[in-house]
Structures are given as C-alpha cells and as structure tokens.
Structure 1
Amino acid sequence: MKFFKIGSLVFAVLMVASCTNLDLDLQDNPNAVTPDNAGLEFLFNSVQINFADATWEAYDEPAGIVRQLAMTGGNVYDNNDSPNNFNFLWTETYANILPDIEAVLALLEGQTGVEFATGVSKTLKAYSMMTLVDLFGDVPFSDALKGSDSQNPTLDDDAAVYASALALLNEAKAHFATGEGPGSLTDIFYGGDAGQWLKAVNSLIIRYNVTTKLAGGSGSAVASAAADAIQEWSDDFDFQYGSNRENPDARNPYYTIDYEGDADYYQSNYFMWSLLEEKGLEDPRLRYFFYRPDCDTTDEDNFALDCPGIPRPVHYTGPYPWCIACECGYWGRDHGNNDGIPPDGFKRTTFGVYPVGGSFDADDCAELNGNGTNGALGAGILPIASAATTDFLRAEAALTMGSGEDARELLESGMRNSIEKVRDFGSGQADAAFVPSDDDISTYVNIVLNAFDGADAAGQLDIVIKEYHIASFGNGLDAYNNYRRTGYPSNMQPTRDPQSGEFPRLFFYPSDHVALNSNGNQRALGQQVFWDTNPANPNWVD
C-alpha cells in the first residue's frame, strides 16, 4: 500500500513514535531530504500520496467491527485489534503528512498565486486531524510539530483538535473561492479544479457538523453548506489509484493484497447478505463490490469450509446469515470468526471492481490467476467524500437536526448517486448481461423509499444509515462514525461468541506512542470520543 515514502529526516524527530534514540547531527546530512532541498513540487506530491496511504489504513481498521469486512483478528472485540495495528497510521501522519504540510505552508508563505496549494494543504491537514480524533480521541497536536523542543508531546483535547480542523476547512474555502489554479503543482485528486475542491470542503463541513450533532454540530450550518457541496458523483472526493504493478506499486492496496497470490481478506457474510437477500432483491452494486471464484459451496469438504456442519449459534436470532452468505458462492466469514486459515484462498469471495479495481462478477465462477493481472488491474479508488454520502448526511440532519431539508428526497438522491457511480465505474469490466438497468435501479430505490414511508422517525434514520453503510463500502471510518453516533444500522450480525467483549468506542493508542512518549498512556476500549455522548456499552452498540 506504500507508493513511496519521503521520510524526511529533519522531520523524523517530530514523530511521536521516535522521540528518543535520534542523533540530531544527522539532520545536516547533505543527502537527506529536507524542506530546503526537497522542493515544493516534491513535498506537495508527497503530502497527497502519504495522505492516501494513511487514510486507507484509517478506513481499513474499523471496517471489520462494523461488518463491512469480516472481523477475523479476534473472536471478541477486546482481542481483535492490538495497539501495534495502528503504528503505521500514527507514524505516517506525524512523521510525514503533518510535517510535510507545515513545510509546504512555510514555502508558500509570502508568495503570490499560492491560494490553491494552501487550500489543498489545509484541507488534507484538517481531514487528517479529524481522522486521528475519530479513532483515538485526545491526540498530540499543539506540541506535536515542534521538533526537538517537544519530543514528548502532550495530548490535546479531542474537541479542541476537531475545532481547529473546522477552522482550517473554513480557511480552505476562502483559498479555493479565489479560483486560482495549482500553477506548476500536480493535483492528484481533482486535476487542479478549485471549484471541485470547494465542493469537497463544503461536504467535509457537513460531515463535521453531523458527526458532532450531539456536541454542538449545527443543522443550519449543514443547510448553509449544502448548496455548494458535492451533489453529483462526478465531483466526488476520491483518490484515484493506478494499475502500475511495481516501482512503484500504484494499485489499490486491497487489490495488491487479494489479487497477488490467493486472497488474504475475508469478506463479511453479513455485508454480502445485506446486498444479496436482505431486501428481497439483489442490490445493483453486488456484482461490482464482490467477485466469486467459486459459485457453489455445496461440494466443499470440511478442510476448505467446515462450518456448514456446525449448528447455528443460539444467539443468532435475526435473519442474518450463518457460515456463508449463500450457497451460490458468497463465501466469507461471520463476525468474530478468527479460526485458522484453511485452503480456501482461491475459493472465497474477494473484492470486485468497485472500489478496488478488481474483477466484475458475471457468474464466470473462475479462480483468479493470482498474479495481479485480473480485472481492472487495481486501478480503483479511495472514496473519501461523495455526493451519495453527502446526501445521506444531509438526510440525517433533516431528520434529527432541524436543517429544513427533505430527508426522503435526499435518501433517494444518495442511493441513485451511489448506484450510478458504481455502475459507471465498472463499465469497462462489466458484462452487459449483468449491468443493472435504470429500471433495476428504480426498483431498488422504490423498495427502500416504501420502507422509509412506513417507518417511524427512528426507523427512518435507521434506513438512511443503512444505505450510507452500503454506499460507503471502502470507507470503514464513516461507517464506524455513523454506528457510534446513531447506533445504526440495527440488527447487524453479532459476534459468533455470545459474549462479544467491549466494543471499541475508540481504538487503542498505537504501541509506539505509548512506549516512546513519556506522556503516552494506554486507554480502555470503552472510552468515548467527545462527539459520542451516547450511553456507555453495552447499552448502545455491539
């Protein structure tokens, strides 16, 4: 998942994870990459690429606990994620992204024609800060970028860090509103379009306010930002991966992991079932999200698939699946199945064409070749903020924050934006016989809208969040935030073990931070981020 790293040694001392054991004389190494010799173009590119690396990691870690992927690291929440899991994200953010952004801003200071680069830098900084808070709560910020003057930075209050991020987003709006372009710099996200960046920032401001709705977030601020936010999927805030296989590997990390050799990830039986059967019809996105190398599980022996002979757990009282999503080959794992790995790597369901850049499922039921040459060759995306997710956030604000907008209309828009984007994205790989028609899409949308019309207020919010949950596939952080904030989607598959343990309302601090920062102490999983004022576990989410 690493394209390239620019580990600037002069900034390594700023990293929370490397506070001690650094020979400061090495900062003067003439061969080292520093702000003075890196050049603005190199630093600006590095910020964007490292941001994508860290953000992918931030999306991947929560995806299992909210059932977008299978949770296989542990049988209960307490042992699913270790503090070591987060060292890369922490290091990438504090050693590379934030210091390099500061270096870019320093190089731009006092110059003319730099509004665009300043706006991009502040946007990526704001998003990185909010991501750290969403995952860890209180984090180093004010002391974190002072170099050798603060080798053991203290933790800032999470609400204060979030507020600083909002201030940066508002500053970024002003920079992009000038309409200036990037000049000689390369904009990997939007190709130099300040208007699209302005829409992305407004969508992030909406996201901020809905996320913090229990802690001061404003419905009127949502409505105010809506007109200039992302409304068409062609304006979505995505990182576009390439198909280059090596030197550097520019592909979506999930593709690299699952299409080089046999599959490593297990898909979530619950999530696949949600698209396959829960509504009584096949979700138009199903064949784009997942690819089945084997379309018949009934002839598998117990070495490859042992759970069909195991009784369904007695606490599995809902309609959700057990063992597999269906015998037609949607074969993943149940929530909290951390059993050993059988010889199923070329049989289990893997990622499809969206958003990973894999293969479209046209009932071909063929094993992948395992050499990274299937499907769209990994030229997928990292979905950060979209028209669909913005619609769903606005729908939630209409239902719960008094924003004055039409929640039903926004729910429909969100579903259509998501499905149409997925269909278009996979057009180069899809078999025409399996491409959903406009009528297919309308049938799906109308089923959801009919359920919405018949639901009470709580049920309507549940439906909105469920559609957000599906549409945000590839962005587990949004699903994690939604689940903590609203408690929805409801009735998701529980852990296989009847005692699920402590659901992580925040994750463990990275082990490097705890071990190497004298101000770093580990937390308990039940602690909550400032914007999550809901009841403590186990009376909220599980």
Structure 2
Amino acid sequence: MKNLFKYISIVFIAGALLNSCETTDLDLRVSPNDLASDQADPNLLLTSVQLAYGTNQQALSDISAELTRIDYMFGRDYFNNYPGSVLNGTWGRTYSSNGNGVGDPVSIGILTNLQTLETLNEDPETDLGFHVGVAKTLYAHQLLQLVDFIGEATFSQAGNPGEFPAPALDGGAEVYASALGLLDEAESLFAANPTTIGAVDIFYDEDISKWRKLINTIRLKAYYTTGNVSAFNQVIAGGNFIESAEDDFFLQYGTSELQPDNRHPDFASDYTPSGANIYQSNWIMETMLNNDDPRIRYYFYRQVDATPGADAPPNEEDLNCSLAVPPPHYNGFTYCSVPNGYWGRSHGNDEGTPPDNFKRAAVGVYPAGGRFDDSSFGNVGLGLGGAGAGIEPIIMSSYVDFWRGIMASSDAERANFLESGLTKSIAKVREFGSLDVSADLASTAPTDEDVEDYIDGIVDAFNSATGDAKENIYAEQYFTTLYGGATEAWVYYRLTGFPTTLLPNWEANPGPFPRTLLYPQNEVVTNSGLTQKQTLTEQVFWDTNPASPTFPAAN
C-alpha cells in the first residue's frame, strides 16, 4: 500500500474534474455510466466500485462502534436511533446508486458497475479479469455485511430490473453461500494473473497476491461468524491470508482540505477552527485508562487535563451531567466523567451541546491522522497533527489473530492469539506517531518496555481469570483493537454477549438491543414486494442466542 497517497490523489483529482464541468471545458469525459456499456471506461468503473465500498465501510463501522460503545451513541431509544433511513446509502452504493463519497467520478453502485465490467470483459480481445476480480471480491464482502446488519440481502434477483423490478430478499444463509461463491469466481480470475491495463487500485497497488490473501481472509470472516471450525482451519492451513501488517486492508486518506476534502472524515469533523465536534465514548476511554493501555495517547487527543465531576469541579455549563446523581441502573458504572481530561459522553446521552468544543477529547493520530497526545493540552485546529492523513481500517492482521483466538481449541491457544493480536495492533498504532511532527514523542510515547509490560499483564490476567472475567478481558481487548474500524464488533457482541462491562444506556429502558437493523427505507418505498420490519429484534441466521431483551446481558 506504499503508493496509496499517490493513487487516492489521482482518484480524487479525477472526481473533482468530472464534477466541475459547469465551470470548465464541457468536452471533459462524462461519467462512464452515461455511455453505452461497450464504451464505458473500465478503470473509472473500478474506481467507482472501490469508492462505493470504502464509503460503506465508514458507515457500517460507525454504526457497529456506536452499538458496542467503541464510539459514542447519541439518543436514548434504540428504535428511534436507527430508523429505516440509516442504511439507505449503504444499500444504494451496494446495488445501484446513492453516491460513493467525495471526489467520486461516478455515482453508480457496486453491482451495476460489476455487471458492466463483466459485459466489457466478454470481448475476447479485452482482459478485464483484474477489474472483475476486485469488484467481485468487494461485492462479496459487502453482501456478507448486509446480512450481518439486516439479516437478509438481495442476490438472486438483484441487478435485473427488467425481469425483477421488485427483487426479493434472499435468506441470510443463502446470501452467505452466494458470497462465498463470488469469492471463488474472483479467485479464479486472479489465478490467471490478469493485466491491470491502467486500473487504479487504491487498496493494494495492483498486487494480485494481496487480493488473493484478502479473498481467503473474507472467507475466514464468514467461517468464524458461522462457527465453521473445519473450513476456518483449512484456510489457515493454506497460509495465504492476511497474517502480517504488510497485507493489512485499509483505505488511506490524504491531507487536502478543499476541492476535494480527502482527509479522514473524523479529522475533518474534529480539527476545525471552532473546535472538536465529535464526542468520544466514555467506555473505551475509561477502559483504556484503567488498563494503562499504550494506545490511548494515539487514539485520543486531550485538550484539557481534567474533567468536570471527576478530577475538576462539576460544571453545569460545560458538562451538565457532572452535577447529576447517577440513576440506579448506573450503579457501579461511570455515569458522566472520566478523569485526566478524557472528556466524552456515555452511551445514549442525549443532552444538548454545550460550549465545550475546545475541551472535549478529540480523535487522535490513529487512525484519523490527528494529534498525538503528548500532554501538551493544546487545541485542535486545521492542519494540526497528521493533517488528516489517517486510514479507515477494514481488515487488519491484528483482527485476524483475534478471530483465530475465537476459533481456538484451548484457552492456552487463545492466549497466544491474544498476545499476537495485541502485538500487531500496538505496533501498527505506534507507527502513526510520526505523522505528528510537532509532538513530543521522546518524553511521552510508550517505550518498548511499556508495551511489553502491558501485553504481558493482559495475557497474564487472561490466563489467571475464569468464566465471564476471562471472556471480558478478551472482548475488551478485541474491541479496543477495533477502534476506528469496528464493523465486526457488533457481530462479536451478538455472537458472545461479551464484554458484559459495557456501559448501560443512558435511558433505563431504551428498548430491546438491536439484533438487526430495519430494511433500507428507500428500498421499502420502491420495492412493492417488501414490507418494513416493526422491530429491531429479528436475529441473523448465525445469531442463535436468546431473544432480546434478555440478551446481551449488558443491555
């Protein structure tokens, strides 16, 4: 991925040119989707597929992180928080339209562009095997995720409006099987070592060997989710999956502020002239603080050194809840304030926004490309820290180690994967410190000894614990590792119910915890064969745990 800065700049520049025809030469190339299929530019089609997929990863990660307290969720009632409109964009970008993000030269969904690429590839004089292989791989992963979030997805009747103007939803298990079939097809295409003919691969720099590893890793995701131990172990035995940091799968951002803004979205929201706009989750900050986690200075940037109600006097204007008496259901949990300037909000807090933009904790240098927290307690602002050149983690080698721990045959084996996952995660996170050239890393960054002591302490605690305590340690470390790219957190939480240490909802009775989300409302409106769900309690086929509200325990 060494050339991602260059390539994503090309993508965004192309998008800016194509979107600026009102004020520039009207003879600029039009969207390839406005042309006949045999005239479309396959390279721009592939670019559109990648940007649609990347934008969806941002959206799904945010939802999953909110539900699992990795990020802060605003609003007390789950059903009202997640209406049918939540997945409109994700659905449209997967199948048909809805826009693929800033700088996208086209705005047609993954499946539509995949079908066009397949049509173009029917020309015996054209080899678009690479383009089609990439698109099939990303479409397959997207289908798995739609099932994880909705419980079903359209596949067998998708992309054929002439015959199926109101495509039916396929069951989750069937879509999982179909997605695995797409991965087989993509693998066959890559096995022929196709040429790239000018394609811009913003993920793997046209390295086919890495795409093969990604295919196997997506298979691992499907197998651990469904509990298919034998298939999981078969992939592991083959050895061709994301196992080291050089194969990590992520979207790289740039530092341009305007025309287009290609910075990490969280950096763009938090590093403004008027201060930070995102609240960080009290649960994850407190968990990391209590554990003395060496990643905390990379994840969060503190603008102040104390928090009202914790180690500073309560302040109604800045943090209204710092004066409140916690409700009974918060007994034993931190209701409002995490000390040491880790100024955030607890799950579901729907209080108004006070003038605390230059006081609340902001996103840090990892993964958003912000500031490293060197205890300088300065403010956020344009261009500071890494100037937004962060990443959107999607599937990292550290995540895969945690999956291997989930599928391990013994606690001893699981402890080894816990250690390995933490080692890879912390090493990746520490690399980002150098993005903030103004930070005092020499005095405040964790040392090799600090990291070793932390990992040893966590592994020792895991080995010594039993029952729920052991499961909580593993889950807390997995969730902490997933910060910034947490799409799989909600899957794990519904599979296991851990960690049970998650903060309660701000509301004592927030409604049943979501097991799936509603169907995308745009699809419900336009698809005569689809009726909207009435609850969020329908379970995915792989979720065989007790029904809500008795599960998960922390909700």
TM class by shorter chain equals 0.7 to 0.9
Q: Deviations over 1:232-285 (max 9, x none)?
A: 1121011111112222221222122222343332111011111111x3xx2111
Judged with a 3 Å threshold, the aligned counterparts in structure 2 of structure 1 residues 31 and 486 are, in CA distance, closer, same or farther, namely closer
Report the equivalent of 2:343: 331
> Which residue identity does 1:366 align to in structure 2?
G
Structure 2: distance between partners of 1:537 and 1:30: 47
- Which segment is superposed worse, 379-388 or 257-266? 257-266
> Which residue identity does 1:424 align to in structure 2?
E
The secondary structure found in structure 2 opposite 1:406 is helix
> Which residue identity does 1:255 align to in structure 2?
F
Structure 2: distance between partners of 1:111 and 1:337: 60
Report the equivalent of 1:391: 401
1:376 aligns with 2:386: yes
Mapping of 1:230-309 within 5 angstroms?
230-260=242-272, 261-277=274-290, 279=291, 282-297=292-307, 298=312, 301-309=315-323
- Which segment is superposed worse, 186-195 or 388-397? 186-195
Mapping of 1:23-62 within 5 angstroms?
32-33=34-35, 35-62=37-64
Mapping of 1:55-454 within 5 angstroms?
55-72=57-74, 74-95=75-96, 96-109=109-122, 110=124, 113-180=127-194, 182-213=196-227, 217-225=228-236, 227-260=239-272, 261-277=274-290, 279=291, 282-297=292-307, 298=312, 301-318=315-332, 320-326=333-339, 328-369=340-381, 372-399=382-409, 406-429=413-436, 430-432=439-441, 433-454=443-464
Structure 1 residue 31: Cα displacement: 9.4
Contact 2:152 2:169 in 1 (8 A): yes
1:499 aligns with 2:509: yes
> Which residue identity does 2:49 align to in structure 1?
V
The secondary structure found in structure 2 opposite 1:239 is strand
Mapping of 1:440-519 within 5 angstroms?
440-456=450-466, 459-519=469-529
* Structure 2 residues without counterparts, runs of 5 or longer: 1-10, 16-29, 97-108
TM-score, normalization by structure 2: 0.86
Judged with a 3 Å threshold, the aligned counterparts in structure 2 of structure 1 residues 438 and 30 are, in CA distance, closer, same or farther, namely closer
Structure 1 residue 111: Cα displacement: 5.3
Structure 2: distance between partners of 1:199 and 1:339: 45
TM-score, normalization by structure 1: 0.88
Contact 2:314 2:323 in 1 (8 A): no
Structure 2: distance between partners of 1:105 and 1:140: 19
Structure 1: distance between partners of 2:37 and 2:258: 27
> Which residue identity does 2:422 align to in structure 1?
M
Structure 2: distance between partners of 1:520 and 1:262: 44
Structure 1: distance between partners of 2:456 and 2:351: 40
> Which residue identity does 2:376 align to in structure 1?
D
Structure 2: distance between partners of 1:481 and 1:411: 18
Structure 2: distance between partners of 1:202 and 1:405: 25
- Which segment is superposed worse, 97-106 or 525-534? 97-106
Q: Deviations over 1:434-465 (max 9, x none)?
A: 22211111111111111121133655444333
Identity of aligned residues (%): 37
Which structure's relative contact order is higher, taking Cα pairs within 8 Å and 6+ residues apart? 1
Structure 2: distance between partners of 1:44 and 1:29: 13
Contact 1:502 1:526 in 2 (8 A): yes
The secondary structure found in structure 2 opposite 1:315 is helix
> Which residue identity does 1:413 align to in structure 2?
S
Judged with a 3 Å threshold, the aligned counterparts in structure 2 of structure 1 residues 518 and 311 are, in CA distance, closer, same or farther, namely same
Contact 2:61 2:486 in 1 (8 A): yes
> Which residue identity does 1:222 align to in structure 2?
N
Structure 1 residue 99: Cα displacement: 0.9
Q: Deviations over 1:300-358 (max 9, x none)?
A: 7311111111112222233x4221221x2101111110111111122211111111111
Judged with a 3 Å threshold, the aligned counterparts in structure 2 of structure 1 residues 81 and 262 are, in CA distance, closer, same or farther, namely farther
Structure 1: distance between partners of 2:387 and 2:417: 34
Structure 2: distance between partners of 1:325 and 1:102: 51
Structure 1: distance between partners of 2:187 and 2:467: 34
Report the equivalent of 2:25: none
Report the equivalent of 1:19: none
Contact 1:353 1:426 in 2 (8 A): yes
Structure 1: distance between partners of 2:465 and 2:341: 33
> Which residue identity does 1:484 align to in structure 2?
R
Contact 2:279 2:360 in 1 (8 A): yes
Contact 1:71 1:335 in 2 (8 A): yes
Report the equivalent of 2:546: 535
Contact 2:276 2:380 in 1 (8 A): no
Structure 2: distance between partners of 1:539 and 1:4: 51
Structure 1: distance between partners of 2:453 and 2:94: 43
The secondary structure found in structure 2 opposite 1:296 is coil
Contact 1:219 1:397 in 2 (8 A): no
Contact 2:314 2:322 in 1 (8 A): no
How many matched pairs? 506
The secondary structure found in structure 2 opposite 1:378 is coil
Structure 1 residue 180: Cα displacement: 4.5
Judged with a 3 Å threshold, the aligned counterparts in structure 2 of structure 1 residues 29 and 453 are, in CA distance, closer, same or farther, namely closer
Structure 1: distance between partners of 2:544 and 2:12: 38
Structure 2: distance between partners of 1:157 and 1:456: 37
Judged with a 3 Å threshold, the aligned counterparts in structure 2 of structure 1 residues 160 and 5 are, in CA distance, closer, same or farther, namely farther
Judged with a 3 Å threshold, the aligned counterparts in structure 2 of structure 1 residues 29 and 441 are, in CA distance, closer, same or farther, namely closer
* Structure 1 residues without counterparts, runs of 5 or longer: 7-27
Contact 1:105 1:121 in 2 (8 A): no
- Which segment is superposed worse, 404-413 or 434-443? 404-413
Q: Deviations over 1:127-169 (max 9, x none)?
A: 1111111111112222220134322211111111111111222
The secondary structure found in structure 2 opposite 1:383 is strand
Structure 1 residue 417: Cα displacement: 0.3
Structure 2: distance between partners of 1:98 and 1:31: 13
Judged with a 3 Å threshold, the aligned counterparts in structure 2 of structure 1 residues 112 and 34 are, in CA distance, closer, same or farther, namely closer
Structure 2: distance between partners of 1:127 and 1:366: 41
